[in-house]
Amino acid sequence: MKKQSDNLGNAEKPNSKVEIFIAALKMALATFASRILGLIRDQVMAALFGASGTTDAYLLAFRIPNMLRDLFAEGVFSSAFVPIFTEIKQRDEQEAKRLLWSLVLILTVVTGAISLLIMVFAPQVVGLIAPNFTEDADKFQLTVLMLRLMAPFLTFVSLAAVFMGVLNTLKIFFIPSLAPAFFNVVMIVCLLTLPNLLQQRGIHGAVAMALGVIGGGLIQLLIQLPLIFKRHFGPTGPINIFSTHIKRVINRIGIGTIGVASTQINVLVNTIIASSSGVGAISWLNYAFRLFQFPVGVLSVSIAGSNLVHFSEAWKKGDRDRAISYLQFSYLLSLLVMIPSCFLLYSLSAQTIHLIFERGQFVHAYTLKCSGALEYYLFGLPFYGFYKIFGPTLYAMDRPKQVVLISICSITVNIVFCIICTPLYGFEMLALGVSLSMFINSSAQGFYLKKLLALPWSFFINLRVFKIIISGVVCFVLVQYLASNYFDYQLSFMTKIVRFCMIGSAGAGIYLIMLLIMGEYKLVRRSCL
């Protein structure tokens, strides 16, 4: 075991590393396109509406169905469904098809009912989550209207996540990961074309964002269906919503729901605190979190998604060594890309926000607010990457209760921290609380995995890890110096772009050079092949 843990370069399981990397690369390329389009979407939104009460209203309305997607989409449901679907597909493909479409029926009914309840009780929901919004009647009514329009998004994104999980299990990664890009395209088109048309009809232009969410969510679902049918996983009967396999998935979701409930309490508390921290606080945190999520979404989610599929498959086959090999490579690959991402984005936080968002209604004062929040988010970036890997791994090993318990503990710390510190030190403490929570969560999950798999400490902490961190620190120092001396906010936009890219490239270059100097040629080469 020690040999396996300490030597990534050994070719004991060469295909495992290649498979994980290729799958992660496909997902990363597609997700990168989606994230770029997401940034363009946010640029357009920032230019049209700034960081104002209007954007606060949209973000809060969107947050409500988006909170529930953690249960029915990317979070608990995927972690519960994918390992069980993989296991059944290996034994009986027809049974796997019946499981899929039985769950599709259940999800459609349940999420449809929840969406209807949200529409009916939208005023009460908004009043509960953002009580300060009731002080501004126009802002409150706009939030209620947009919430009602966006409620069905929950159903669309939940079904899209199911199909994405199935396609990933079938080793199809690119198109499912590209589906969110179509969501962003629809959003951008709606933002560019609908505000004036809506205003001419006496409707607030911001409603264009809500219409974009609905249209984008539907496209995100429909774009995956042709591949489902092409791989012969279309509707198959008889549908049995009371089968043993359905009960297994629901039991896992039931356990995970406790963790999701604690997460949503965390989101609820943070939203209440943010809505009470002044106009724009919700928007500043949102724009900062979008940038924080860029490396998470492009890199960590891609690595984690690939790891879940390959680890689950190996674990269900009883190939313990191969499963650990997948986990180890995913952990090191995540660290290898998260460390430079963290240091680069931290060093260039203000410059990044300035170039991406500062135009139209988004002024320089907003840039400074956002960059402060982004820097606090970035403290937790590497740990967020580990969290994305360790949590689903434990689900694949049938350890959901432990994941939930760890999640509840970390969230409790976050809530207490934010309640105490935000009134004293400002809304940025909400971002720092997220980082603190991720550190506690990923550390506890890693410790539990160490115990469960009898891993040596060198699996997590070894000379290679220290080399990566040292290379990241050198990158940080260089970029800080270059940004302070060679980036001028008063220069022309194109000149700033060129200098920004040169500074970032210099940082990335010195990171790789330091790794090579310290003898990590094999690590760099194998992570790029």
Whether 506 maps to a domain, the answer reads no
Contact 150, 214 (CB under 8 A): yes
Share of the chain above pLDDT 70, in %: 87
For the whole model, what pTM was predicted? 0.73
Whether 528 maps to a domain, the answer reads no
Q: Is 170 left (phi over 0), alpha (psi -120 to 50) or beta?
A: alpha
pLDDT at 310 over 50: yes
Whether 28 maps to a domain, the answer reads yes
Cβ-count burial of 278 within 10 angstroms (0-12 exposed, 13-18 middle, 19+ buried)?
middle
Give the number of domains in the chain: 1
Average pLDDT over residues 73-80: 64
Cβ-count burial of 346 within 10 angstroms (0-12 exposed, 13-18 middle, 19+ buried)?
buried
Whether 430 maps to a domain, the answer reads yes
H-type helices in 426-462, by residue range? 428-453
Q: Is 235 left (phi over 0), alpha (psi -120 to 50) or beta?
A: beta
The token pair at 320 is 């313990």
Helix, strand or coil, per DSSP, at residue 77: helix
Specify the long-range contacts of residues 278-282, CB closer than 8 Å, at least 24 apart.
278/427, 279/52, 279/53, 279/56, 280/51, 280/52, 280/53, 280/55, 280/56, 280/366, 280/369, 281/56, 281/427, 282/55, 282/56, 282/59, 282/60
pLDDT band at 2 (very low <50, low <70, confident <90, very high): very low
Range of the domain at 357: 2-461
pLDDT in tens, 427-482: 999 999 989 988 999 999 999 999 999 899 998 988 889 999 999 999 999 999 99
pLDDT of residue 51: 76
Whether 492 maps to a domain, the answer reads no
Whether 527 maps to a domain, the answer reads no
Q: 299 vs 63, which has greater pLDDT? A: 63
Whether 437 maps to a domain, the answer reads yes
Share of the chain above pLDDT 90, in %: 38
Whether 480 maps to a domain, the answer reads no
